[in-house]
Each structure stands twice: as structure tokens, then as C-alpha cells.
């Protein structure tokens, strides 16, 4: 079984500051992928970034980076230079590489960017 824990229900951050959203996970699968999604108030789930369990380097996509610490089972999302449009729910999710296609999601963190 897989479990994702997001301990920050809500965060307020000043515009242009960096923000870290926490995610810890638990799994017995030897190979797995970690994903972050953004869900604005309009409802769509937008894929942001992916990290594979065997990737040697932390993933980066523009202003998004993933601070992956395998031994600690954490996969925190870092957003640099936050913008008003970053205000949304953010979900961490994981999936085993083999034998299981489903994504397991955390409960999410609501990020609010303050002008």
C-alpha cells in the first residue's frame, strides 16, 4: 500500500518569495514515481513535475523544483519567485512503477500568494 502525507493544510506567502510545500510518502515498492499537481479554484488538475525513485538528480521545471530525499521519504515542492497565479491547491501523488497504475494522492496544501 502507498500513502502520501501533506501536513500543511494552508500556507500564505508573500509574492516573489520562494515557498516549500511538504510531502512525505510511504511505500514498499522498490521503484516508484512522485508527482505534483496544481488545482486552481476552477478545478482542473495540472501536472507540474515528476521525480523517479532512481533519478540521481532532483527534478526541475521552470520555477518548480523537487527536493527529493529518498532516505527520508520526502518529496517537497519548491516554487521560486512566487506569483499571484500560483494561488491554488497543490497535491503530491505517487505511483508504483510496476503492477499498479493508480495514483495515490495526499490531502493537498492550499497556497495563497499575498500581493
CA trace torsion 8, 63, 58, 26 (10° rounding): 20
Q: What is the residue-wise DSSP string for 60-106?
A: EETTEEEEEETTTTEEEEEE-S--GGG-EEEEEEEEESSS----EE-
Q: How far is the CB of 104 from other proteins (least distance, A)?
A: 7
Q: How far apart are CA 104 and CA 70, in angstroms?
A: 18
If binding is defined by CB under 8 A, does position 28 make contact with other proteins?
A: no
Burial of 57: CB neighbours in 10 Å, binned 0-12, 13-18, 19+: exposed
Q: Under the criterion CB under 8 A, does residue 30 sit at the interface with other proteins?
A: no
| 80 in contact with other proteins (CB under 8 A) | no
| Closer of 35 and 68 to other proteins (Cβ) | 35
Q: Which one of residues 8, 29, 50, 67 is an interface residue with other proteins (CB under 8 A)?
A: 50
Q: Which residue in 1, 28, 41, 43 binds other proteins (CB under 8 A)?
A: 43
As measured in angstroms, the least distance from the Cβ of 63 to other proteins is 18
Does residue 106 belong to the site contacting other proteins (CB under 8 A)? yes
Interface positions with other proteins (CB under 8 A): 4, 33, 35, 37, 42-47, 50, 52, 91, 93, 97-98, 100-108
Amino acid at each position: 500500500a502507498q500513502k502520501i502525507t501533506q501536513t500543511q493544510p494552508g500556507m500564505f506567502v508573500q509574492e516573489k518569495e520562494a515557498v516549500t510545500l511538504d510531502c512525505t510518502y510511504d511505500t514498499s515498492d522498490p521503484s516508484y514515481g512522485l508527482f505534483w499537481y496544481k488545482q486552481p479554484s476552477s478545478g482542473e488538475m495540472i501536472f507540474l513535475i515528476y521525480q523517479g525513485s532512481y533519478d540521481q538528480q532532483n527534478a526541475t521545471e521552470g520555477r518548480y523544483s523537487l527536493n527529493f530525499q529518498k532516505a527520508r521519504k520526502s518529496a517537497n515542492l519548491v516554487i521560486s519567485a512566487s506569483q499571484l497565479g500560483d494561488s491554488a491547491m497543490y497535491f503530491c501523488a505517487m505511483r508504483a512503477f510496476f503492477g499498479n497504475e493508480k495514483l495515490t494522492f495526499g490531502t493537498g496544501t492550499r497556497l495563497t500568494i499575498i500581493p
